[in-house]
Structure 1
Amino acid sequence: MKITLVTVGKIKEKYLQQAISEYEKRLSRYCKLEIIQVADEKTPEGASAALEEQIKEKEGERILAQIKEGAYVAALAIEGEMLDSVELSEKIDKLGVSGVSQIVFVIGGSLGLSQKVLKRADYKLSFSKMTFPHQLMRVILLEQIYRSYRIIHGCPYHK
């Protein structure tokens, strides 16, 4: 299976880059992983709601341009469904068994995802009602995908 992360913005912090690299290496034995970063828009201090919507739309267009036809899209969204690690592993496993060859996980920018991206999503996944930095969410998501594959293969990692 191919797992793609489409994310907004670049990772500047070295410690996050190192963590991402570690999970890329670990995941390489279970799936083909691709991480696509699209440019983020600068949000001026005190931006109006209308301007924030425009920014989300621009970022959303960039995200949608990276999603291939037929891919299963899971958007990370606070209003999405919360799963535990076993449930996520079951979801990934069931998608693979049902013939899905690519899962695209989408992580928006600091303002979240546009309505167009949310409408394109086949599934909305929430990690918490709390807000996390979108750069850190990449590490958290990759760790959970790795944990899912360890669960699927019956390997000792998940506790």
Structure 2
Amino acid sequence: MNIKLIVVGKLKEKYLKQGISEYAKRLSKFCKLNIIEVADEKAPEKLSAAQMEQVKQTEGIRILDKIKDREYVFALAILGQERSSEEFAKEISELTTYGHSDLTFVIGGSLGLSSAVLKRANTQISFGRFTLPHQLMRLVLVEQIYRSFMINSGSPYHK
């Protein structure tokens, strides 16, 4: 199984890199994890709605360029569907059972994802209505992916 994270921007914080690295190591016995960073657009504090849309569209083109047709895509979006860890684990298990061995998760930049990326996604997933830094979201997502594999394997990690 292949799991790809497409993320906007570079990860700078050492503690986040260490956490992601730890979960990536743990995940290596379950899947091949690939994290692809695409460049973020410079976005000054005060942008018009049209300028914000342009930033999202430019980042969206970069994201879509990294997605292949056969990939099942989860877009992380605040208005996406919330799932429990158990529901997420079941969803991953069912996807792999029914032939989806390439799962892709997309985390947008500070302004979110373009409508084109949201349209390409097979599903939108939300981790709640909190706003989290997208760099921190990477760590949360990788931990939840690991947790889903542990749930599916019957491990006590989840408790």
Which of the five TM-score ranges fits, normalised by the shorter chain? over 0.9
**Residues 1-159 of structure 1: pairs in structure 2 closer than 5 A:** 1-159=1-159
Deviation for aligned residue 1:49 = 0.9
Deviation for aligned residue 1:69 = 1.1
Q: Normalising to structure 2: TM-score of the pair?
A: 0.99
What SS class does the counterpart of residue 157 from structure 1 fall into?
helix
Question: What is the Cα-based RMSD across aligned positions, in Å?
Answer: 0.5
Deviation for aligned residue 1:34 = 0.4
Stretches of 4+ aligned residues off by more than 4 angstroms: none
Matches of 2:42 and 2:28 in 1, distance apart? Answer: 33
What SS class does the counterpart of residue 40 from structure 1 fall into?
coil
Paired amino acid for 1:92 = I
What SS class does the counterpart of residue 50 from structure 2 fall into?
helix
Matches of 1:19 and 1:40 in 2, distance apart? Answer: 22
Matches of 2:102 and 2:45 in 1, distance apart? Answer: 38
1:81-118 per-residue CA deviation (whole Å, 9 max, x = no partner) reads 00000000000000000010100000000000000000
Please say which of residues 44-53 and 138-147 is displaced more in the overlay: 44-53
Matches of 2:153 and 2:44 in 1, distance apart? Answer: 46
Paired amino acid for 1:60 = G
Aligned length: 159
Paired amino acid for 1:129 = R
Paired amino acid for 1:16 = L
Paired amino acid for 2:69 = E
